[in-house]
Structure 1
Amino acid sequence: MAVESSPPQVTPDGRVELSDAGPIKDSRFFNPELAPVPIEQRTWTTYNFFALWMGMAHNIPSYTLAASLIALGMDWVQAFLTITLGNLIVLVPMLLNSHAGTKYGIPFPVFARAFYGIRGANLVALLRAFIACAWFGIQTWVGGKALHVIVGRLAGDGWTKASVVGGQPWTLWLCFFGFWVVQMLVIWRGMDAIRRFENWTAPLVSIGFLILLGYVLVKAGGFGPILHQNSTLGWGAGFWKVFFPSLMGMIAFWSTLSLNMPDFTRFGGSQKKQVTGQILGLPTTMSFIAIVAILTTSGAQALYGEAIWDPADLASRFDSTILVLIALISLVLATISANLAANVVSPSYDFSNAFPKRITFAIGGLITGVVGILIQPWRLISDPSIYIFAWLGFYGGLLASVAGVFVAGYWVIKKTRLELADLYLDGRGAYWFNGGWNWRAVLATLVGSVLAVGGAYGGPFPADGLIPFLKPLYDYNWVIGFVAGFLVFFALKENTAKEKTR
């Protein structure tokens, strides 16, 4: 039951704004950064969303994602098709969940309140936040490595071969923490600083990758040696055994954003602008970086006899210091751009959602940075099989069930209609459910997650799977999690609709 004091205002294009935010401002579940964005502040254009995706997609982990498929034995055609298909699939739930952000001006954790309850939303928000923290750490580590190579080219062997601390040169740790500090300074300035940073870095981030490709092409003698690198998997059973878990990994790469895109689309000038910007942005930019990474890695394999899937390591082998500096400076800027947008914005809101009166957006960003270090990202990205099958596959399956609940709840059960003020009300309203929790959404998420990742195997997981009889499902973890979360939540819709507020 809605308790809004006055009807919300609705623009001709369907966007909703509170007529009076006064009744919700005293709620302990409200703060200015979680509040609905006023219509006059929803100013992001198609280019803003396109630039956002260019900034997020063109980074070193995106490059290593594509290059790792070559390292696993695919040829360039197989790797490109796997990545392109994965991005087209994940674009669907991403656009479906983006709609609520633009319509209501709300971020992801507030959107989650509609289905999990005012308090229950913290369950999925913090799950998303800790995954983002790990990604922040990964991006910061690879950015720090690139910075280490840059300084090493100028300072010489005394820098690159410095004494080892914790398994790495102490100079690499210095670059890692320096890279960390720069990002914290940007996030402390708030969301608008991130938007401006994305806008001016977006056109520059392709330069470094094109330099890498151009150098390899010249040294390899053109595309010939690259395009004729044969797959070690073939097109038979060996390929399909690697293809499906790899596809799930490609989907999982952006499955986090498929949930929290409302954090950005809440600033959208219209549904058309955010949809067009994302369609132009995600598939095209990821396909571009994929083909560049695939061709570069294949060329490096022809030149050096091994698949070098880390662009910083590859650039360090170049003869020209100028090329190394230009390429890696571009990659460092690209990585900062991607990390701020993809891995700091969401957890900042998520941590703020857990304690709205105590944690601001900036403090949430600082928490993200600290947790990102504690997770030890250098271990997560140390091996392509662990990177794709264990890390990406496992968390992708977990988040897929949440995406299933969102899509079923918002589009099928609620039919895109939410009571905006009730999303902030303390102890009453349509989304309080039982003590602030909707156990049915939690159950749907639990069932979907167990089915998706219960059979996890390989890397840190048992060879027979965590739950052996579920092992066959793990190769299809994202699809299993999404479908199961959707169906279970939809099956409980009648009870959900009749849930009494308390």
Structure 2
Amino acid sequence: MTATQGASRTEGTPLAGPAAGTAGTDTSPRLYNPDLAPTKKAGRSWSGYNVFTLWANDVHSLGNYAFAIGLFALGMGVWDILAAFVLASVFLFGLLSLSGYMGAKTGVPFPVMSRIAFGIRGAKLPAVVRGGVAIAWFGIQTYLASSVLSTLLVAVAPGLRSWQQHSLLGLPALGWASFLVLWLVQVLIVSYGMDVIRKYIAVAAPAVLVTMLALAVWMFAKADWSLAMDAGHPFTGADRWLHILEAAALWVVIYGTFVLNFCDFTRSARSHRSILLGNLIGIPVNMMFFAGIVVVLSGAQFKINGRIIAGSDDIVRTIPNTFLLVLASLALIVLTVAVNLMANFVAPVYALVNLFPQRLDFRRAAVVSAVIGLVILPWNLYDSPVVVEYFLGGLGALLGPVFGIVKADYWLIRRTRVHVPHLYTEDPRASYAYRSGVNPRAVAALVPSAAVAVAVALVPYFSAVSGFSWFLGAVLAAVLYVAVPGRARHPHEDVDGEEIAVPSA
């Protein structure tokens, strides 16, 4: 079985037959291949449990633990952290439910979905931005997991410490070995398509949840069943509430990438109900479970020896019990692989397939993404505050405006009606041809809103509100997109993705 055949089988059989409407009857091979095709109802295998396990894995990532525990180190108390996660989970549940509905209704991935607002050619820009951010974080997350694996290997076999004495391109020999092993594992898993990813996260989620709960209980017991409620310098008054709101906003920003391309997964959901149920349990309930683990690990560690957990590898390095260290390390490695597969692998794969549909399929694009994630030497990126803050932070700030434009177009202007065959045609009469394949209305909304979002995120003068850059960019872009004059709905957009047919290329 070829990679393309495997991908099309797991993603759902492409619809075939004559296209509906007066335009867009000729599918362009530059816009279509089986991996970009909409999924049929019969090919959708993601249940509410699968959506839940997606979040159960993604929330408990190493990067998320480092961020959340960092809130304790910055002075936020236990109750402040819990309040921030309550607010963030409410925001995310709403945003992800809106985004997920689009995928379930049309059955198309994000690079294709963004064509409705940006045009069949203009949509390449948001897909590349999303994919570029994901590739960088794929490498960084793999590096973080490899640090945990190195810690585990040294704990089990102390003789391996000698492998850490010499380095190449900024990484010691043990780090290279750990990184390459995890890199290869992820490439192998993703090369078999979305159905294998679904099965992997379904198994990984319960193992991760049980292990992290056991670690938290053990730490709580070591601290004599009590916690330090803060690190000694808690925020008070208005400053306290500003930090709570900013922490909640930053948590949403972390998921700004996932919010944008959630339809890559929900295109395979069995129903809208599956998405809502999976989101309800997976986001508010699961995120509060995560927050509970975070405050117990932070508060218990500080209570035991006055030490604040500073980094992702510290989560396991501070465990004096070898058996628990092994279990926690394996759990964190398993979940980091799951997170990378979902959040940082699928998006660039679809972005690359969208750019080169005649040359790349799901498997080949996965290999290209992984190779790029390796050659950028992600450990050097992670160790450079300038790169993380300005390059990745700047790209991340662009995702808010893109989200605002796509959602405003779909929900406010088109009222959820999409002519799916026109997403795959270069016919100038089609709904999403716009002006040479680019929607001027989207460009007019994106440029100023992106400038504002990036300025708020990066310019020191706006540091007090920098955490809200994603929201500011999204809202401003949506308002501008609706306000800017442009072509209204196409007369043939009364046909949605579940009722029409897409011709084969």
TM interval, shorter chain, is 0.7 to 0.9
Q: 1:136 to 1:196 in 2, by over 3 A?
A: same
- Does the 8 A contact of 2:75 with 2:233 survive in 1? yes
Query: Is 1:326 aligned to 2:327, yes or no?
Result: yes
Give 1:388-407 correspondences, 5 Å limit.
394-407=394-407
Q: 1:371 to 1:320 in 2, by over 3 A?
A: same
Q: 1:28 to 1:391 in 2, by over 3 A?
A: closer
Percent identity over paired residues: 30
**1:245 and 1:173 mapped to 2: Cα distance?**
36
Give 1:184-333 correspondences, 5 Å limit.
184-222=187-225, 224=226, 226-229=227-230, 232-240=233-241, 242-333=243-334
Residue 70 of structure 1, aligned match among 63, 67, 72: 72
Query: Is 1:479 aligned to 2:468, yes or no?
Result: no
What's the TM-score, normalizing by structure 2? 0.86
The match for 2:131 is: 129
Give 1:457-476 correspondences, 5 Å limit.
457=458, 463-464=460-461, 474-476=466-468
Q: 1:186 to 1:201 in 2, by over 3 A?
A: same
Amino acid of the residue matched to residue 193 of structure 1? Answer: V
The match for 2:62 is: 60
The offset of 1:473, in angstroms, is: 5.1
- Does the 8 A contact of 1:27 with 1:426 survive in 2? no
**1:395 and 1:282 mapped to 2: Cα distance?**
25
The offset of 1:72, in angstroms, is: 1.4
The offset of 1:478, in angstroms, is: 1.7
The offset of 1:310, in angstroms, is: 3.0
The offset of 1:455, in angstroms, is: 3.4
The match for 2:84 is: 82
SS in 2 for 1:29: coil
**1:473 and 1:499 mapped to 2: Cα distance?**
39
- Does the 8 A contact of 2:27 with 2:426 survive in 1? no
The offset of 1:158, in angstroms, is: 3.5
Instruction: Give per-residue Cα distances to partners, 1:52-107, cap 9 Å, x unaligned.
Output: 22122222222222111112111111112212312321322221122121111111
Q: Which runs of 5+ in 2 are unaligned?
A: 1-13, 493-505
What number of residue pairs does the alignment pair up? 473
Amino acid of the residue matched to residue 65 of structure 2? Answer: Y
**1:242 and 1:58 mapped to 2: Cα distance?**
22
Instruction: Give per-residue Cα distances to partners, 1:133-186, cap 9 Å, x unaligned.
Output: 122122211111111111111210543762131454321222112111110111
Amino acid of the residue matched to residue 322 of structure 1? Answer: F
The match for 2:3 is: none
The match for 2:40 is: 38
- Does the 8 A contact of 1:137 with 1:377 survive in 2? yes
The match for 1:344 is: 345
**1:363 and 1:239 mapped to 2: Cα distance?**
49
**1:257 and 1:27 mapped to 2: Cα distance?**
28
Q: Which runs of 5+ in 1 are unaligned?
A: 1-15, 465-469
**1:367 and 1:79 mapped to 2: Cα distance?**
39
Amino acid of the residue matched to residue 487 of structure 2? Answer: T
What CA RMSD, in Å, does the superposition of the two structures yield over aligned residues?
A: 2.7
Query: Is 1:495 aligned to 2:496, yes or no?
Result: no
Q: 1:154 to 1:474 in 2, by over 3 A?
A: closer
**1:448 and 1:57 mapped to 2: Cα distance?**
29
Q: 1:415 to 1:160 in 2, by over 3 A?
A: farther
The offset of 1:39, in angstroms, is: 1.9
What's the TM-score, normalizing by structure 1? 0.87
**2:82 and 2:184 mapped to 1: Cα distance?**
35
Greater shift after overlay, 431-440 or 204-213? Answer: 204-213
Q: 1:473 to 1:88 in 2, by over 3 A?
A: same
The higher relative CO (CA closer than 8 Å, separation ≥ 6) is in 2
Q: 1:498 to 1:338 in 2, by over 3 A?
A: closer
Amino acid of the residue matched to residue 101 of structure 1? Answer: G
Greater shift after overlay, 282-291 or 373-382? Answer: 373-382
